[in-house]
Structures are given as structure tokens and as C-alpha cells.
Amino acid sequence: MGYTVAEKILLSHSDADRVEPGQVVMVRCDVVLANDVTGPVAFRQMEKMGTSAVFDPSKVVMVADHFAPAKDERSAILIKRLKDWSLEHGVVFYDQGRGGIEHTLLVQEGWVVPGSVIVGGDSHTCTHGAMGAFSSGLGSTDIAYCLVFGEFWQAVPGTIQVTVSGEKGHFVTGKDVILAVIGQIGAGGGTGNVLEFVGPGVQSLSIDERLAVSNLAVEAGSETGIFPADDQTAAYLDGRTEKAWQPVHSDPDASYSRRIAVDFDRLGPLVAKPHNPENVVPVSEIVGTPIHQVVVGNCSNGTMTDLRQAAEMVKGKRVHERTRMIVVPATQEIYRQAVAEGLVDILVEAGASISTPTCGPCFGGHTGALAPGENALATINRNFKGRSGSPEASVYLGNAYVAAAAAIAGEIVNPAEVAS
């Protein structure tokens, strides 16, 4: 019996002679990531373990992004702790103004190559599957163990194969592919599994769009969403990394726990209604829902592709008087490029506010919390009750076209109507 991509990567990063779903193995990490929320908790756990020695500082990355820029003293103390620890241990630290949102940043900076194992103290570490890596979001005690020993325990997951086919229509993006999957299998439907994306439709998903797909794999309960490396992956990595890598593909006789399909020919823009990402409906089903805040950004959809889509929608128009629009470029590099391309000017002219890269408005931390009774349409990954501020607010998830169109219309609208 052959192996899936996930099984092959776990086999190559463990001492096991063979692997099968359910088997627990110790897996070696190529990158260990944490942020200002999960890092300091991990450092406490490390102290309890009785050591401060890091297994390999060259494989450790710390990013200040959740409460950065610090919203209050308590947040500033956490960020300082992250920075001081990083300097003391000689690991890479991305401070505000020097990095951005951790997952987009790590991919951009060439930390992630196909076939590697990326672990992070953040559930959206699953994003790195877009590069053909096995990536896993872990808690802080796990991260502490990884910092000391460079490995973590892992029950080998099964693999759900997602075949993408058809011609992608206008205003349809990677976000719609993953919302379709979550709608199909449910918020717990991928538990104990990775998603593996294959088929002719994968070619029409850029790296930016794949990042959005993989980013929401955890919203289906999955460990990660893997795109086996292809020409686009290679072209993206060219000049971006010095790490050696080889593409990893599943064997033809690999065993899958389930096979599902997404057909672009039958896929329009989708929205996930409150308060669970599995509440997926076509945009057309909920047009007219008033929207008080739009957020374009976050680790799922803060890429150049997303900013271009948002700018395309709002160019020469004004954000509706009912609505606030917040745009969060995911990294400093993306911010600069958006300025260079004139996107920032288009967005600001339309009435959008541009934020420094931060996770703040996504998790309700700061920079865009919602009041009771307000509705948001956001390109983020979670619409849980209270996720972005008041528990009496409602968050709808959609792609950047859908979000920007809602900002112009002041309500949920089919993007084609705003574009025409």
C-alpha cells in the first residue's frame, strides 16, 4: 500500500519504519513558530521543564502580531517578553514594522518549503500546507517541548482527498473552495485527517489563493490542507529560499479516508453565516443583509491578490455611509507593494482605513471590534460568537470581492452587481 503526502512527510521526519493512520510517532520539526500570545505561555512551560536551552535557534521564529502594536500595558509586556526571550536565545524575531502576520510572513520569507514540517503555536499554522508542507497548529506546552527537543508527538492522520475541477468564474477565489469543503463536511468533518487538494482546478489557484484554502483547513477540524508542490510552488520559491527541497506527491495506491470534489463550473461566491464556518450559503441567498464593518486582511486573505481584488471593486466608488472598511495588508512587504501599485490610494480614496499588519480585528483583540447588533463581512477565518468583539455582533465570512462589494453597497451583494 502506498502513502499519501502527509504520511510520506511524517515518515521522513520520524524514526518509524512505516506509518499508518492512528499510529503515534515523534515528528522532527523544520520550523518552530510562536507569537506574542502563545510564546510567553510556552516559555513558562519550558521553565517548568527545567531548561532554557533551545534545540536549534536557526529553526525558531517568533512573531509579534496578535496584540501588536500593543493595545495596552499588559500586551506590551507580553511583546517585550517575546522580544527579550528571542534576543536571549538567538532566534529570529519579527517585531512590528519588520514582519507582519506570522503565516503569510513565514511563507513570504522562504521559511516554508515542500516536504518540510512546520509547527506553530497558532491554530492557523495549517496555512503552510499550501506550500506542500506538513504543518500543525499546537498549544503552548507542545511548543515548549518543540523548543527544547525539536519534535512533537503526532497521531498519523488520515487523508481526505479533495479533487478540484472546472473553470474558475469571476469573483470566485480559493476562499470559496475551502468554504465549499467546510460546508460539505462540516466543522468537525476533517478531524483526524488532513485535506489534500488535487485535480485540474488546482492550477487556477495561485499561491496566495492556496494560502487561503489551507488557512481554513482547521475550520473543518483538519490538521492541515496540503497542496502537493507543482510548477507554481517552484516559481514562487525561486529566489525566496536557500533551503533544499523536493516535491512530495501521494502514491497512486495511497489510501484515503474519504474523497470529495469541488467543481468550479458549479461554484459561485460563498458566504459563511454566523456563528460557525460550516454555515455556508451562496451569496445570492443572503443579499440585502446590512453590513456595518468590512475587514479585508488576516492570515487567510491579506495577500496582494486580495488587496488587488478589493481595490478592483472599490475603485472610483465610495464606501457606503453605513459601513466602515478596514484593510489589513498581511505583511510589511505586501503593504509596500500595495502602495507602489497604487492600491492603497484607491482604497483610501474610497473611504477605507488601512491598518498596519496585525491579527487584531480578526480575533477581537483590537483595531476594529464590533458593537452589539453590528454585522461584519470579513475575509477572516472564524465567525464564532464574540469572535470580533461583542457576542451580540454577527460575522459573515467571504472572499475579498464579496467583502469589498459589501462595503460599497452597505449590505451583502453579489460582487457582479457592484462591478457592473
Partner 1 sequence: MIAAGKAVLVPGTNIDTDVLYPGIYLNIDDPEQMKPYLFEGLDPALRDQLDGDTVLVVGENFGMGSSREHVPLAMKAWGVRCVVGSSFARIFYRNCINLALPAITCPDAVKAAKPGSQISVDAAAGKVTVDGREFTAAPVPPFMLEMLERGGLIPWAQHKLAQS
Q: Under the rule (CB under 8 A), what is the footprint of partner 1?
A: 22, 24, 36-38, 40-41, 44-45, 48-51, 66-67, 72, 74-75, 78, 81, 121-123, 125, 137-142, 144-145, 148-149, 153, 155, 187-188, 191-192, 218, 221, 223, 276, 278, 363-365, 369, 382, 384-387, 391
Tell me the three cell numbers of residue 61: 521564529
Rounded distance between C-alpha atoms, residue 117 and residue 50, angstroms: 26
Gyration radius of the chain over CA positions:
20
Give min distance, CB of 362 to partner 1, in A.
9
Give min distance, CB of 52 to partner 1, in A.
12
Give, for 304, the enclosing helix (H) or strand (E).
helix 304-314
C-beta of 40 vs 99, nearer to partner 1: 40
Beta carbons of 95 and 186 less than 8 angstroms apart: no
C-beta of 268 vs 386, nearer to partner 1: 386
Rounded distance between C-alpha atoms, residue 305 and residue 330, angstroms: 11
C-beta of 19 vs 344, nearer to partner 1: 19
Give min distance, CB of 62 to partner 1, in A.
14
Give, for 161, the enclosing helix (H) or strand (E).
strand 158-165
Beta-strand relationship, 134-137 and 117-120: parallel
Residue 94 bridge partners (DSSP): 63
**CA 84, 87, 91: angle at the middle one, nearest 5?**
125
C-beta of 47 vs 265, nearer to partner 1: 47
Give min distance, CB of 7 to partner 1, in A.
17
Give min distance, CB of 347 to partner 1, in A.
26
Give min distance, CB of 218 to partner 1, in A.
8
Give min distance, CB of 226 to partner 1, in A.
16
Provide the H-helix boundaries in 164-303. 174-185, 207-215, 231-237, 298-301
Residue 269 is given by DSSP the state -
Rounded distance between C-alpha atoms, residue 394 and residue 71, angstroms: 23
Rounded distance between C-alpha atoms, residue 82 and residue 91, angstroms: 11
Q: What is the dihedral of CA 32, 301, 66, 123, to 10 degrees?
A: -50
Beta carbons of 391 and 370 less than 8 angstroms apart: no
C-beta of 80 vs 317, nearer to partner 1: 80
Give min distance, CB of 14 to partner 1, in A.
13
C-beta of 218 vs 254, nearer to partner 1: 218
C-beta of 134 vs 363, nearer to partner 1: 363
C-beta of 76 vs 281, nearer to partner 1: 76
Residue with C-alpha cell 460546508?
183
Give min distance, CB of 54 to partner 1, in A.
13
Give min distance, CB of 291 to partner 1, in A.
21
Give the Cβ contact number of residue 268 at 10 Å.
16
> Does residue 69 have a cis peptide bond before it, meaning omega lies within 30 degrees of 0?
yes
Which residue type is seen at 38? T
C-beta of 156 vs 296, nearer to partner 1: 156
Per-residue buried b or exposed e for 30-62, using 16+ beta carbons within 10 Å of the residue's own CB: bbbbbbbbbbbbbbebbeeeeeeebbeeebbbb
C-beta of 22 vs 97, nearer to partner 1: 22
